[in-house]
Amino acid sequence: MPMLRQAQLRHAKYFQGILNLCGQLYLEGGDRLQIALRLFDQERDQIEHVLVWAQKQNQDDEAAARLCSELPVLGLFCLQLRWPTSQRISYLWSALEAARLLKDRDLEYAHLANLGLSYLDAGDNKRAIPLLEQALEIVQGMDDSWSRASIVGNLGIAYEGLDDFEKAIEYHERNLEIARAIPDRRSESAALGNLGNTFQRMNDIQRAIEYHEQALRLDREIGYLEGEGMELGNLGACFLTLGETDKAIELSEQALAICRKVGDQRTESNVLATLGQVYEKSGQFTRAVELFQQALRLSQKVGDRRSEAQNFLLLGSTQYEMGDRARARTNVESALAVFEQIESPQTEDVRNQLNKWRNVLAKPS
């Protein structure tokens, strides 16, 4: 092997160790999570250089292929927080190809599962489901309850996004059962939070609150700051639905502080949208529009297409109430375009709303 390739591999393996350390610290939670993210941010340029190098070289030799396939597993949580969804998806397809070249089934199912999760993050639930099912088929034959719990939970999220709530609850309850049997308290918290999200979508708000509060207690006990931020945001949205705006603001502001501390821009976008709805309901339309615009920019930055569409819709609906009909129509048309692309169950409702607006705008004044 030429000396240059040896030097490149030594360099790559050094930063593979750094990425592995970031992943281990992140999973320990508490203050270690912050240390993990600071270390990742400090070494990010070099880590990304190694990732790109391994991606380009993975067809040429086995060592590079293994690096290409192992790196995104080691740095999974940091990459989820720091990389846009489209960048993660692009790399994971290369990592999956490398795993198949290596005939490494452990890495293959990990990349299938992470691709499924990434497509969920992008709002493409229909594309996520077959990837998650392939991952589950592989992991069923392994002694890996943690991975099985994670994949089952993500299938629940996928079906919830398609409004198949019965199937979503079935998967989330299986996830909860596996997590408690392991036992894995972070997986248990995730399952409880996902059940809360599903009941929230079903408008069973009291039951949703019960699950979110259980998840929040667990996250605080184990020092999982990112999960705490998500659950505070979920509870804020629940209390908004109940009309308890002061409580919604209090919880949402706590969530925002945590999201910004850990750099969770996906959840931050959702929380900003909740706050925007609080101000919209109180008639403070200008403030609401500012918050929806901030939420929209973040959702576009992280590649969360479902939230992007929802934020376009919220922004347009508020502008319509303000009498700014032209901007309202443009933003709701943008929402409809994204909903159509991700085949959202909301598509028909948004199309009908837009047609009503067009009829109103077409009438002579």
Q: Give pLDDT tens digits for 245-261.
A: 999 999 999 999 999 99
pLDDT for 23 beyond 70: yes
Domain annotation covers residue 152: no
Domain annotation covers residue 330: yes
Domain annotation covers residue 198: no
User: To the nearest whole percent, how much of the chain has pLDDT over 70?
Assistant: 97
- Last-in-domain residue among 58, 73, 101: 101
Residues 119 and 338 sit within 8 Å (Cβ to Cβ): no
Domain annotation covers residue 274: yes
Q: What is the CATH number of the domain that holds 296?
A: 1.25.40.10
Domain annotation covers residue 326: yes
Domain annotation covers residue 118: no
Residues 190 and 176 sit within 8 Å (Cβ to Cβ): no
Total count of domains within the chain: 2
- Last-in-domain residue among 52, 86, 101: 101
Phi, psi for 234 (deg, rounded to 5): -65, -40
What is the reported pLDDT for 193?
Answer: 98
Mean pLDDT along residues 280-296? 97
Domain annotation covers residue 199: no
Which sign, positive or negative, has the C-alpha torsion 177, 182, 185, 189? negative
Confidence of residue 8 (pLDDT cuts 50, 70, 90): confident
pLDDT for 204 beyond 70: yes
What is the reported pLDDT for 362?
Answer: 60
pLDDT digits (tens, 9 = 90+) for 106-137: 999 999 999 999 999 888 999 999 999 999 99
Residue 274 lies in domain: 259-365
Alpha carbon of residue 15 to chain centroid: 26
Residues 260 and 294 sit within 8 Å (Cβ to Cβ): no
Q: Over the chain, what is the mean pLDDT?
A: 92
Greatest C-alpha distance within the chain:
79
pLDDT for 61 beyond 80: no
Give SS3 for 60: coil
Please state, in angstroms and as integers, the Cα–Cα distance from residue 160 to each residue in 41, 307, 338, following that order. Answer: 34, 15, 18
Domain annotation covers residue 340: yes
**DSSP letters for 293-315:** HHHHHHHHHHT-HHHHHHHHHHH
Confidence of residue 269 (pLDDT cuts 50, 70, 90): very high
pLDDT for 159 beyond 60: yes
- Last-in-domain residue among 85, 101, 117: 101
